[in-house]
Amino acid sequence: MKHFSHAWLAFKAIERLEKADLGNNLQNVDELIRWFWDHRDGVIKGSWYPDMVIKDMAASHGLKLSPQAQGPSTFGKLPATSKVKDYATRSPVYGQTCKQDPDNNLLERCEALAHSVIDNLKMQQSEDNGSPITPSNNHIATRLFILSHYIADAHMPFHCDSRKFSDGIDLHGKIVSLWDDETRKYYEIDLLNGRFFYNPEGYPLRKEAGSNNSFL
C-alpha cells in the first residue's frame, strides 16, 4: 500500500469500530474514536511515516508465512483473554501448520508501538501540566497512525505470503500503486494540507460521479 491507501484504511477501521455492535466487548471505544477525530488531519502523514521516515522495510513490514508438512507452527502464544485468539480459533484454517520467516519482526514491532502508546498515556497522567517531558497528544496520535501502517501491512497479501510474486514483473509494486490510484480517483484529497476532505460524518469525502476535480 502507499500514501493515501494506508490513510484510507485507518479511517475505515475507525468507521467500522464506530458502527459495529460491540456490546460490552471493548472498553473505552468511544474515547478512542473521539481521540481519532481530534487528530484525523494527521492520519495521512502519520500512517506514511514508516515508509517515508523510519524506513525499516527490510524486516518490520512483513510477516512472511510458509506452509510446512509437519511440526508445530512458529507463532507466539496469545493470552486466553485475547479477542484475536477467540476469532482465530473459529477460523477454518486454525490448527494448520505453517512457519514464520525468521527475518520478519512485524509482530514485535506492532507490540512495541502499542506499548509505547500506553506508556506515553501513562506519562501524561503522571506529569504535571506543562512538564517538558510530557508527550503531546499529537505525538501519541502519530504513533497510533504509525501502528495502523504496520497492522495494514500484516494483512496485505504480498507481506504475509512467502511465495515469490514479483520476480520479473513487480506484481507487488503494480498492485500497491493501483490501490493508491483508486483512492485518489474516488476520494477528495486536500494535497496542499496533506489530508482528506471529509463528509458530514467525518470520513473521507467521496467524489461526485463524473467529477473531474482530482486534486492532482
Question: What's this model's pTM, rounded to 2 decimal places?
Answer: 0.71
pLDDT at 73: 63
pLDDT at 198: 93
Sign of the C-alpha dihedral, residues 92, 98, 103, 105? positive
Q: Cα(172)–Cα(175) distance, rounded to whole angstroms? A: 5
Q: Cα(196)–Cα(198) distance, rounded to whole angstroms? A: 6
pLDDT at 114: 92
pLDDT tens for the chain, 216 residues: list them.
Answer: 678 889 999 898 889 888 887 776 667 788 888 888 899 998 888 888 888 888 887 778 887 777 776 676 665 666 777 776 777 777 776 777 777 888 888 889 999 999 999 999 999 989 888 888 899 999 999 999 999 999 998 888 888 877 777 677 888 888 889 999 999 999 999 988 889 999 999 999 999 854 444 333
Q: Cα(32)–Cα(16) distance, rounded to whole angstroms? A: 13
pLDDT at 216: 35
100 DSSP β-pair partners: 65
Q: Cα(201)–Cα(207) distance, rounded to whole angstroms? A: 15
pLDDT at 213: 43
| Distant-in-sequence, close-in-space partners of 7: CB < 8 Å, separation ≥ 6 | 43, 44, 47, 48, 145, 196
Contact 17, 29 (CB under 8 A): yes
pLDDT at 208: 81
